[in-house]
């Protein structure tokens, strides 16, 4: 009984990690860049949700949509200003830039909204549903269902739309895709937009879940989502979802066993173990790079 309860709690938390991890994995799959500013986009999503709810008195779903659209625009701007000029540079240059963008967004938010924690408006009246084997709250149910719906929609976009086919073509060979008439820049911008929108949704959901947001809230979940992407197989969309759910469940079970202080250490240990045993991730294939 207790194990099933913790599993449900872990899946709720893991669904948010999965949403953030999808952004990491999509960007890496397209341009082989680890966008370490992605956690800050998630943080911005939470703050945008906070401001539109308080300012315009929006309900949950309109606020979620506004936050996703705003974060999509932010993702496109970051790609255009910070990453596109470095497209042909070394990977280390792009990685350092990503870390720089991350610090820039953190400090801009601290400057404008201060570093204090804020209570996220509770626009959903919470209640618990007792389903005999486990209890689930209305907010947990909302988080889980919203995240799953967004992941299914993403999979449909990637598999069955023209832009999704372009994304898959660019991820395989950008030069060949360009020769076939695909607009590579627009495809990469679209990838950043989709990934950032999902991160923005994750920010609103986690704000609702924990009832607390602050400018540094993207650091730990951003790292954990990156670990989730690596665990599932970075560059593989179902792998990011699997990794996110796995990290959420592991973290919740470790906390339930009374080792809350060590839950982050356990997650980072998983990263080390997976890199040693299976660097390509759970769903990844080992591909030898030619020198």
Specify the pTM: 0.92
The predicted structure's pLDDT at residue 110: 95
Give the pLDDT confidence of 61-118 residue by residue, as tens digits: 999 999 999 999 999 999 999 999 998 888 899 999 999 999 999 999 999 999 999 9
The predicted structure's pLDDT at residue 290: 41
Half-sphere exposure of 60 (CA within 13 A, CB side): 18
Question: Cα–Cα distances in Å, from 197 out to 55, 114, 175?
Answer: 21, 24, 27
Angle at which helix 219-232 crosses helix 237-256, to 10 degrees, equals: 120
The predicted structure's pLDDT at residue 289: 44
The predicted structure's pLDDT at residue 291: 39
Distance CA 128, CA 254 (A): 23
Low-confidence ranges of the chain (pLDDT < 50): 288-291
Question: Cα–Cα distances in Å, from 196 out to 26, 45, 203?
Answer: 10, 9, 10
């Amino acid at each position: 009984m207790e194990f099933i309860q913790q599993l449900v709690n872990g899946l709720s938390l893991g669904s948010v990690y999965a949403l953030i991890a999808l952004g990491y994995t999509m960007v890496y799959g397209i341009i082989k860049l680890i966008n370490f500013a992605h956690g800050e986009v998630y943080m911005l999503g939470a703050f945008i949700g906070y401001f539109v709810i308080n300012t315009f008195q929006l309900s949950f779903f309109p606020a979620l949509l506004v936050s996703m659209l705003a974060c999509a625009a932010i993702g496109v701007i970051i790609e255009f200003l910070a990453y596109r000029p470095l497209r042909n540079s070394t990977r280390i240059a792009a990685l350092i830039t990503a870390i720089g963008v991350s610090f820039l967004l953190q400090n801009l938010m601290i400057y404008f909204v201060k570093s204090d924690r804020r209570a996220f408006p509770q626009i959903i009246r919470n209640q618990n549903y007792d389903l005999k084997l486990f209890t689930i709250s209305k907010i947990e149910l909302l988080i889980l269902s919203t995240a799953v719906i967004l992941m299914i929609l993403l999979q449909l976009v990637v598999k069955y739309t023209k832009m999704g086919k372009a994304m898959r073509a660019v991820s395989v060979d950008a030069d060949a895709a360009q020769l076939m008439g695909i607009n590579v820049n627009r495809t990469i911008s679209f990838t950043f937009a989709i990934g950032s929108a999902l991160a923005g949704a994750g920010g609103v959901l986690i704000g609702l879940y924990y009832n607390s947001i602050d400018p540094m809230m993207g650091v730990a979940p951003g790292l954990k989502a990156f670990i989730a992407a690596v665990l599932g197989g970075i560059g593989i969309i179902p792998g990011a979802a699997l990794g996110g759910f796995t990290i959420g469940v592991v973290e919740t079970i470790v906390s339930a066993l009374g080792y809350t202080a060590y839950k982050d250490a356990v997650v980072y240990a998983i990263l080390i173990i997976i890199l040693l045993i299976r660097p390509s991730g759970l769903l990844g294939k080992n591909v030898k790079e030619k020198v």
